[in-house]
Copies of this chain bind each other. A is one copy, B any other.
């Protein structure tokens, strides 16, 4: 059960040979999460949780700038409440956990642990809304949800995960639609500018949209192996929930009408995305903006006079401006510490030994390219700031380059399959819009549609699957 510390940084599975096994190696060896004795549930360890906290902090601020306020709704939802919206219950009922006993008593009505909170939010909102003056309601909660998945994988598909779920109520359809896109754009901003992963923005097809939605918008990302990861979604519900849940208001003309609704979420799945978009054979690679530790100081020849002191001095100095760590362990070598810091994906490491100290210098090594450079201690803050920016930008560029390399165009079902088998990645085709064609692609290639991108291209006039007239370009891709 216990890890042998010296084994800890030993070779991990090669990323090109077995990506799935590489992934779980990283999750455990970079100390992000651990398996538990509760099947399908993980424990998020402090280092993994700190990444989530940094994502939360950025997201929460951006939400609040647009007027969103946080709140908290019950964990448990009565069966009859879950059943109120037909599509929604069909989508979620098969995968919820049921509470049937509370204390010593058997419950009269069973309660499910929230898989998502549209039903309970809508129930409460219907009590809180009576006039257009009460609108909009822009609620959000940070919480855990449960979905009884059959196959699980840490962060990507777990029976429990942490997320935020925003639920808003509006006077008009237009305002609700605008909110849906505002939130999608915030997600794109976070994922591109903080997580350093380019996104593909678009609308989900009817088949792939959220259970109960009128429209689902998505930010799609591409992983190292070319598979896609749905990184965040934003749903426009129209009045699908406000009608069964009776969310009515008196409008500006004094008439009663049903309100318009949205919901939107991102989750700890993003941590899986960071691992799979950026990691390599040395381990995790964290974008500086959300790395719990941006800079690690590793003293060289620690036993020599004054080395520890000078390194600590540097640590205390950098602490003011950076998230910095110092590795003073006396039971492992600098080489082991380098490997450990690389495994944990720390963007920059500083090495400083007796000769560097004498010269008033230190060595900086960046995690993304492994390039080394000498820096004068006098200038170290400025250089670190530049370097962290460069790393952030370079990590984004690398992902973008890969996405470009792995994005292809196809004009037939066979070509979709061929491209996916060669490349994985995104395959763009024209599509007639029929569910039958979409089902065929899924069945034949294993790839669902990712989305109908906002940025449309006219590749041809006909559907790549059935040959009928087609006006929409859709993107296909196998997924996590």
What range describes how many residues of A lie at the interface? 35 or more
Of listed A49, A110, A331, residue having the most chain B CB within 10 A? A49
Chain B CB within 8 A of A50 CB = yes
For A113, list chain B residues within 8 Å (CB). Answer: 75, 99, 113
For A44, list chain B residues within 8 Å (CB). Answer: 71-73
What's the least CB distance linking A306 to chain B, in Å?
25
- Convert A81-111 into 0s and 1s, putting 1 for each residue whose CB lies closer than 8 angstroms to a CB of B: 1000000000000111111111110000011
Q: Which of A11-19, A34-42, A196-204, A465-473 contacts B (4 or more CB under 8 A)?
A: A34-42
Q: Is the CB of A1 within 8 A of B75?
A: no
What's the least CB distance linking A211 to chain B, in Å?
15
Q: Is the CB of A36 within 8 A of B120?
A: yes
Chain B CB within 8 A of A5 CB = yes
Q: A81-B37, A160-B75 are in contact. Are A99 and B97 (CB under 8 A)?
A: yes
Q: Which of A140-148, A233-241, A314-322, A402-410 contacts B (4 or more CB under 8 A)?
A: A140-148
Q: Is the CB of B74 within 8 A of A160?
A: yes
What's the least CB distance linking A41 to chain B, in Å?
4
- Within the complex, which residue of B3, B95, B102 is in contact with A97, where a contact is CB–CB below 8 Å? B102
Per the bound structure, the CA–CA distance linking A140 and B96 in Å amounts to 27
Chain B CB within 8 A of A388 CB = no
Q: A94-B104, A102-B148, A130-B2 are in contact. Are A78 and B37 (CB under 8 A)?
A: yes
Q: Is the CB of B5 within 8 A of A131?
A: yes
Chain B CB within 8 A of A66 CB = no
Chain B CB within 8 A of A59 CB = no
For A95, list chain B residues within 8 Å (CB). Answer: 103
Chain B CB within 8 A of A273 CB = no
What's the least CB distance linking A266 to chain B, in Å?
16
Q: A95-B103, A100-B101, A101-B100 are in contact. Are A74 and B38 (CB under 8 A)?
A: yes
12 A–B pairs (Cβ distance < 8 Å), ordered by A: A2-B129, A36-B74, A37-B123, A38-B74, A38-B76, A41-B74, A44-B71, A44-B72, A46-B139, A49-B72, A75-B146, A98-B102
Given contacts A94-B103, A97-B101, A133-B329, 13 further A-B contacts (CB under 8 A): A1-B127, A2-B130, A3-B130, A43-B73, A46-B139, A49-B71, A49-B72, A53-B70, A75-B144, A96-B103, A98-B100, A99-B100, A102-B159
